[in-house]
Amino acid sequence: MSTETLILDGKAVSDDLKVKLAVKVEQLKAKGVTPCLATILVGDDPASATYVRMKGNACQRLGIESRKIELKASTTTEELIAAIRQLNEDSAVHGILLQHPVPHHIDERAAFDAIAIEKDVDGVTTLGFSQNAFGFADYPSCTPAAIIAIMDYYKLPIEGKHAVVIGRSPILGKPVSMMLLNRNATVTICHSKTNNLGDIVAQGDIVVAAVGKPKFIQGEWIKPGAVVLDAGYNKGNVGDVDYEACAERASAITPVPAGVGPVTIATLLKHTVEAAERTLKS
Amino acid sequence: MSTETLILDGKAVSDDLKVKLAVKVEQLKAKGVTPCLATILVGDDPASATYVRMKGNACQRLGIESRKIELKASTTTEELIAAIRQLNEDSAVHGILLQHPVPHHIDERAAFDAIAIEKDVDGVTTLGFSQNAFGFADYPSCTPAAIIAIMDYYKLPIEGKHAVVIGRSPILGKPVSMMLLNRNATVTICHSKTNNLGDIVAQGDIVVAAVGKPKFIQGEWIKPGAVVLDAGYNKGNVGDVDYEACAERASAITPVPAGVGPVTIATLLKHTVEAAERTLKS
């Protein structure tokens, strides 16, 4: 790695967010409101169980209540939606997280869209996506929001830059593209059908990897001085970026782990606290 | 213009669409349903009045009923929304078109979003945008859908191509980008803050101009052999593309007028007929 490369420390960004959140949680409690995140885990995928546990622990450390709903793998779409509706109607619950992926037989989109928009703190609903794309979402998808938060924390400019996003999923590639666009980046969205991917990535002043393939983004593709944000997290604790090789050329890069991941969780907590604050105002 | 350049004839595409629609309108009428589009014009902008009249005439020629709502320029957002809600509740109305731009004092987004999603045949609602972005909208925005329809009519390939979209509005640049992406193009979205616009446009196998500035897209920017789609319509009957110069290099290009425009209107009619068909099925 070049000694000049800035390591974008997700832990530092998330700690900064959490310190501010702790104050807000105290203020809410003084007013009789304890922010509460309900997490829903369907089935027994070990990775998903770990994620849910991490989010629950993160809540606990900040004094946010977490309510764990665990449903068996054979849960139907209708049963899952019924569970979500119960949480929608429960005024003690401020945010709802449906851990994904859900088992294949479930209509994930229908389940996401059953979440009331005012409790969609993970930013997964169809309506939430377009509110974010149009620049007025209360709760943008957490990983895209985390990527922007990291750039803002380190004062890395977005406006006028060429951002290349690799991936086009509804909760990552598409929303982060819209957020970068709304911050006045020129945005190129790539995917599995993109020709000459390396040549396109090489144009990126900002490169966002959201492809779900370990070490997929090659060092030789990176424009010298680019900012590289790795939203991937694959088996063996590796991201979507070939870290060592990309860090050689990047001016700034997120590691995996301790890059985008912790900030994503902190963003989820931030949205939960904001959702609790909104119940006071309304 | 190169003699090899294919002129993408919007009139031919829209006539093809309308022939198919005429049959469907007959079938609907035989079942006792006359498709009906309600158009709302606020104020007395002459261009807007012309557009509404063109759309009404197009309905009439196909046997689609058009109901014209004309509101005075001083109409408030609340009054406009009340008028829209009345149309939402009117079972004889299948589609609602709010002609834009509306006067500045009106909250256009709130007005658009008052349109019931099942009557949003112009594809302007916030929810409709994300349904389109996720690939399951009943009624994508008409101009983006027209651009795709033109490419399909002429069997111009989209998958694997690099599409460059200039413009990022909620009803044109953003949705057409998402539609091209969903058709497996690599998509670059440019705008007023884009640096080196010419260099970026020069990469486009497909160039979509949606910027609202007359003759803005220069011939020298166009990659030889590119397909150029001009969604602009500016004073003096000119598009966003410097047509003569761009046609020299493009392999295919839409003229202005008689390019994207007529297909946009035909798409609006198509959506209205589909909305009427859905009331039979439900």
Structural domain boundaries of chain A?
A: 33-116, 141-261
Residue count of chain B: 282
- Taking a C-beta distance cutoff of 8 angstroms, is the pair B2, B254 a contact? no
Contact of B72 with B101, CB cutoff 8 Å: no
Residue type, A67: R
Instruction: Decide if the complex's ipTM is over 0.90.
Output: yes
Beta-strand ranges (E) seen in A43-185 are: 65-71, 95-98, 162-166
Q: Rounded to the nearest 5°, which phi and psi values hold at B225?
A: 95, -5
How confident is the model at residue A132, as a pLDDT? Answer: 98
Please tell me whether B173 is known to bind a ligand.
no
DSSP string, B39-85: EEEES--HHHHHHHHHHHHHHHHHT-EEEEEEE-TT--HHHHHHHHH
User: What is the CATH code of the structural domain delimited by B32-116?
Assistant: 3.40.50.10860
Confidence of residue A124 (pLDDT cuts 50, 70, 90): very high
Q: What is the mean pLDDT of each run of 10 residues along chain B (282 residues)?
A: 86 98 98 98 94 97 97 98 98 97 97 98 98 97 98 98 98 98 98 98 98 97 98 94 98 98 98 97 76
Among the partner-chain residues A131, A184, A189, the one whose CB lies closest to the CB of B187 is: A189
Cross-chain CB nearest to B188 (options A127, A159, A188) = A188
- Asked if B134's CB is within 8 angstroms of A133's CB, the reply is no
Contact call for A184 and B193, based on CB within 8 A: yes
| Structure-token pair, residue A188 | 């190129």
Sheet holding A227-230, edge to edge: A6-7, A252-253, A227-230, A206-209, A162-166, A186-190, B186-190, B162-166, B206-209, B227-230, B252-253, B6-7
Q: Is the Cβ–Cβ distance between A4 and A251 less than 8 Å?
A: yes
Q: Which residues of B are catalytic?
A: 55, 99, 122
Residue B281 pLDDT: 82
CATH number of B141-261: 3.40.50.720
> Which amino acid is located at B55 in the chain?
K
A223 secondary structure, DSSP code: P
The shortest CB-CB distance from A186 to any of B109, B133, B194 is to B194
Distance separating alpha carbons of residues A33 and A279, to the nearest angstrom? 9
Q: Closest Cα partner for A236 from A32, A47, A10, A6? A: A47
Task: Answer whether A126 touches B (CB < 8 Å).
Answer: yes
Interface contact B126-A126, CB threshold 8 A? no
Q: How near does any CA of chain A get to the CA of B271, in Å?
A: 21
Closest CA to B139 of B36, B271, B262, B21: B271
Identical fold at A33-116 and A141-261? Answer: yes
Chain A residue with the nearest C-alpha to that of B197:
A186
Is the predicted pLDDT of residue A209 greater than 90, yes or no?
A: yes
What is the CA B42 to chain-centroid distance, rounded? 20
Task: For B110-128, write each residue's pLDDT tens digit.
Answer: 999 999 999 999 999 999 9
Cβ–Cβ below 8 Å for A189 and B190: no
Give pLDDT, residue A281: 82
**Does residue A78 have a pLDDT over 80?**
yes
Looking at the domain that runs over A33-116, which CATH code has it been given? 3.40.50.10860
pLDDT tens across A143-158, in order? 999 999 999 999 999 9
